[in-house]
Amino acid sequence: MHVSDLPVPAAVREHYRASGIEELYPPQAAAVDAGITEGENVVAAIPTASGKTLIAELAMLTADGPALYAVPLRALAREKYESFAELPGVSVGISTGDFDSPDEELGEADVVVATAEKVDSAIRNGASWVEDLACVVVDEVHLLGRERRGPTLEVTLATLQRRAPGVQIVALSATVDNPEDVASWLDAELVESTWRPVSLRTGVYDGSEVRFDDGSALGVDAEAADPAEERATAVTASLVEGAIDTGGQCLAFVRSRREAESLATRLAEADLAPDGDAAADLADEIRAVDGTATARRLADAAESGIGFHHAGLVNEHRALVESAFRRRELGVICATPTLAAGVNVPARRVVVRDLERYTGEEMSKLPVLEVHQMCGRAGRPHLDPYGEAVLVGDERTADDLWERYVDAGPEAVESQLAAREALRTHVLSVVASGFADSTAGVLDLLDATFFAHQSPDVDLSGLLATVAGELAEMELLDVGDDAGGVASVDATPHRGAGPDAAATASDALAATDLGETVSRQYVRPETGARLIEGIRIIERMADDDVTALTALGVVCATPDMRGTYLGNRERADIYRYASKHAAEFTTAPDEAEDFESWLCAVKLARLVFEWSEGASIEALVDRYRIGPGDVESHVERVVWLLGAGDALAATLDAEVDVFDRVRRRLADSADESPGGDVERQPR
């Protein structure tokens, strides 16, 4: 199918032609045949780089009203926003920042790009633009299978379909085992394809050579170093250098931040920079961002044409590495697997050195889907004759790697909604935002989720009764007669209850004022309960004891705060600090449920406090052995949670202003950039 046949404005067709798009790729043509331009729901499960963006654009441009493009990550939102903004005659809005504003102004845009969490939050806060949507595109819909993101995504989609009846849903997925499940859930046509614009061969290094799935082999010139780990690194280095020598670029995936940096240092022994001047400029830009040791290491590597990429980097460094790689100023990026799920950085060769990762307790094998996403990055359209992905094994492991990752297909997507924690969050939000006022109503909505579609025989009513009871104990939900009914929550099966199933009084559910605040502030119920407990303790504390540390201690001990770890030597130091400031904290160590988590919360509170007092990121990174990007994300979360604490204090009519005071102090030290990222102001 030719671009000139598309039912989009002439200027858009011209824009496509100017970007080198003449004929539609086969999966794109299949999506048009499936009715993407006629308002049909479509699930497209197709490989990376097979042109999903165009499929989304065709749906959004032909929809009879505003469209929403939902992404899992902020970095992706920015990339999509920039790409849609280039479409002639289309106004684009972006929503990825604070969680709690309705963003009515987004109602003006033709296309809104938002993170899935932001969409969920907009729905909870009653944003009216949601009701006007004609088309919703969900990127990376296979994340339905993720523990936390998945339930949010499915409940959001189920509510969106209620709020905007008849809305066109387009879901874009990586290749998974059961795309038909997702398609039948969404009542969508399925477009499934393994077609790629650049062919991909995948191989395994078996201790002597790489064997590819197309029958070819590649000798690897690596010294037979020992132990196995060093050999894997030597093989990786040789594969990286080989790709660059022949004019390609390479992505090398390893299991941890430290490994990414040490592989980069090792590779920097050879000069791999495609362009020395550009590399020197890039290094200067990297150093200009901040003066941390990480920045110095990254800049030094960049001078040799090498980048590294992981969650410990500040956003600005990550963005610099990605864009320099796309401009071909870096020959290789040594990365943790998060890069594969993120932005568009194709390379000729992908080398996966580590196929296991430490999960906190043990080493576990990477999921097939994740490895396929890394491999799928191989092959740049128009630049590479083919893409090549190599999994580094040895004599012992090669057969297993081959079976698991080359021969076998990816995992199925499975709903995670039945997890109690997820259900608590979503039951509260469904009731608080007025979608349901009874157990029957909640069950009716849950009936429209992916979970119910996948497990039609599971009766959720028992679980719902338990969860409602837990929320009532947290003072977030009124149940039965407390909610205006006459009896306690009804645990009889309600599966299949339709919209006309009358809610009986015993069924009644109502969010308390606290529950409404918790839902609007977009914190988990358990976080809400901890904040409430903290506020009540603060009310009883002597004024002099209530300091910034008090508020920081409360928010850092909530489950919405991303955890940290403690080094052995650090433990005693943090404990001493906690003892010295014992009067300021709301919880004593012997009252804590878990001593280790309590110490971690103290560490985070101290870190953010010192940041607010002017400590440099450099000093904090050094003192607490975390990445510069961790400081950024911890501060950002603390600012959000302090806001929630302040809102709950107001709901409780408590005379506690310390959350607000500390939030303002942090905001003074921080600048909210358009992406909502907190960055350090120059002082």
Stretch that binds ligand ADP, among 17-25, 367-375, 454-462, 646-654 (CB under 6 A): 17-25
Structure tokens that stand for 507 in this block: 């069924």
Q: State yes or no: residue 52 binds ligand ADP (CB under 6 A).
A: yes
Q: Are 113 and 384 in contact (CB under 8 A)?
A: no
* Crossing angle between the packed helical segments 26-33 and 52-62, to the nearest 10 degrees: 30
| Binding site as annotated, residues | 28
The contacts of residue 569 (CB under 8 Å, 6+ apart) are: none
Q: State yes or no: residue 128 binds ligand ADP (CB under 6 A).
A: no
Q: State yes or no: residue 262 binds ligand ADP (CB under 6 A).
A: no
Measured distance CA(510)–CA(484) in Å, rounded = 8
> 196 or 524, CB closer to ligand ADP?
196
Stretch that binds ligand ADP, among 46-54, 277-285, 394-402, 493-501 (CB under 6 A): 46-54
What is the SS3 assignment for 613? coil
Q: Please, is 325 exposed, middle or buried when counting C-beta atoms within 10 Å of its C-beta (0-12, 13-18, 19+)?
A: buried
How many other C-beta atoms are found inside a 10 Å radius of the C-beta of residue 424? 21
The contacts of residue 520 (CB under 8 Å, 6+ apart) are: 100, 124, 125, 432, 647
What is the SS3 assignment for 45? strand
| Binding site as annotated, residues for ATP | 28
User: Of 41, 50, 336, 633, which lies in the binding site for ligand ADP, with binding defined by CB under 6 A?
Assistant: 50
Q: From residue 102, give the alpha-carbon distance in Å to each of 68, 93, 95, 156.
A: 15, 13, 10, 16
Q: Are 454 and 183 in contact (CB under 8 A)?
A: no
**Contact set for ligand ADP, span 21-40 (CB under 6 A):** 21, 23-25, 28
Amino acid identity, residue 666?
L
Q: Are 575 and 537 in contact (CB under 8 A)?
A: no
Inter-residue long-range contacts of 21-24, CB under 8 Å, 24+ positions, other chains counted: 21/54, 24/51, 24/54
Q: Where are the alpha helices (H) located in 164-314, listed in sequence order?
A: 179-185, 228-245, 257-267, 276-289, 293-303
Phi/psi at 437 (5° precision) = -130, 20
Structure tokens that stand for 336 in this block: 């943790």
Half-sphere exposure of 196 (CA within 13 A, CB side): 23
Q: From residue 318, give the alpha-carbon distance in Å to each of 115, 272, 670.
A: 19, 20, 19
> 125 or 202, CB closer to ligand ADP?
202
Measured distance CA(420)–CA(431) in Å, rounded = 16
> 20 or 614, CB closer to ligand ADP?
20
> 375 or 468, CB closer to ligand ADP?
375
Q: Are 133 and 65 in contact (CB under 8 A)?
A: yes
The contacts of residue 335 (CB under 8 Å, 6+ apart) are: 251, 252, 253, 254, 260, 308, 309, 310
Whole-angstrom Cα Rg for the chain: 26
Stretch that binds ligand ADP, among 14-22, 84-92, 151-159, 486-494 (CB under 6 A): 14-22
> 20 or 165, CB closer to ligand ADP?
20
Q: State yes or no: residue 524 binds ligand ADP (CB under 6 A).
A: no
> 236 or 249, CB closer to ligand ADP?
249
> 35 or 381, CB closer to ligand ADP?
381
> 15 or 310, CB closer to ligand ADP?
15
**Contact set for ligand ADP, span 361-390 (CB under 6 A):** 381
Binding residues with ligand ADP: total (CB under 6 A): 16
Q: Where are the alpha helices (H) located in 327-436, listed in sequence order?
A: 338-341, 368-375, 398-401, 420-432
Q: State yes or no: residue 51 binds ligand ADP (CB under 6 A).
A: yes
User: Of 41, 48, 168, 373, which lies in the binding site for ligand ADP, with binding defined by CB under 6 A?
Assistant: 48
> 25 or 212, CB closer to ligand ADP?
25
Cβ at position 188, least distance to ligand ADP in Å: 18
Cβ at position 60, least distance to ligand ADP in Å: 13
| Interface map 563-602 toward ligand ADP (x if CB under 6 A) | ----------------------------------------
Cβ at position 344, least distance to ligand ADP in Å: 6
Measured distance CA(293)–CA(300) in Å, rounded = 10
Cβ at position 25, least distance to ligand ADP in Å: 4
User: Of 10, 18, 20, 681, which lies in the binding site for ligand ADP, with binding defined by CB under 6 A?
Assistant: 20
Cβ at position 408, least distance to ligand ADP in Å: 23
How many other C-beta atoms are found inside a 10 Å radius of the C-beta of residue 23? 10
| Interface map 301-340 toward ligand ADP (x if CB under 6 A) | ----------------------------------------
Q: State yes or no: residue 19 binds ligand ADP (CB under 6 A).
A: yes
> 262 or 344, CB closer to ligand ADP?
344
Phi/psi at 645 (5° precision) = -60, -45
For tokens 């607490």, the residue is 624
Stretch that binds ligand ADP, among 13-21, 181-189, 428-436, 632-640 (CB under 6 A): 13-21
> 32 or 477, CB closer to ligand ADP?
32
Measured distance CA(628)–CA(407) in Å, rounded = 40
Stretch that binds ligand ADP, among 15-23, 161-169, 187-195, 281-289 (CB under 6 A): 15-23
> 107 or 381, CB closer to ligand ADP?
381
Stretch that binds ligand ADP, among 51-59, 212-220, 486-494, 525-533 (CB under 6 A): 51-59
Q: State yes or no: residue 175 binds ligand ADP (CB under 6 A).
A: no
> 54 or 92, CB closer to ligand ADP?
54
Stretch that binds ligand ADP, among 52-60, 130-138, 267-275, 580-588 (CB under 6 A): 52-60
Q: State yes or no: residue 344 binds ligand ADP (CB under 6 A).
A: yes
> 50 or 612, CB closer to ligand ADP?
50
User: Of 8, 32, 49, 602, which lies in the binding site for ligand ADP, with binding defined by CB under 6 A?
Assistant: 49
Q: From residue 449, give the alpha-carbon distance in Å to each of 67, 182, 457, 489.
A: 22, 10, 14, 22
How long is the chain? Answer: 683
Stretch that binds ligand ADP, among 42-50, 70-78, 419-427, 467-475 (CB under 6 A): 42-50
653 Rama class: left (phi>0) / alpha (psi -120 to 50) / beta? left
Cβ at position 310, least distance to ligand ADP in Å: 22
Report the DSSP beta bridge partners of residue 680: 670
Q: State yes or no: residue 267 binds ligand ADP (CB under 6 A).
A: no
For tokens 């970095």, the residue is 75
Q: State yes or no: residue 54 binds ligand ADP (CB under 6 A).
A: yes
Stretch that binds ligand ADP, among 45-53, 238-246, 284-292, 364-372 (CB under 6 A): 45-53
User: Of 53, 161, 338, 455, which lies in the binding site for ligand ADP, with binding defined by CB under 6 A?
Assistant: 53
Stretch that binds ligand ADP, among 47-55, 58-66, 239-247, 654-662 (CB under 6 A): 47-55
Would you tell me which residues interact with ligand ADP (CB under 6 A)?
19-21, 23-25, 28, 48-54, 344, 381
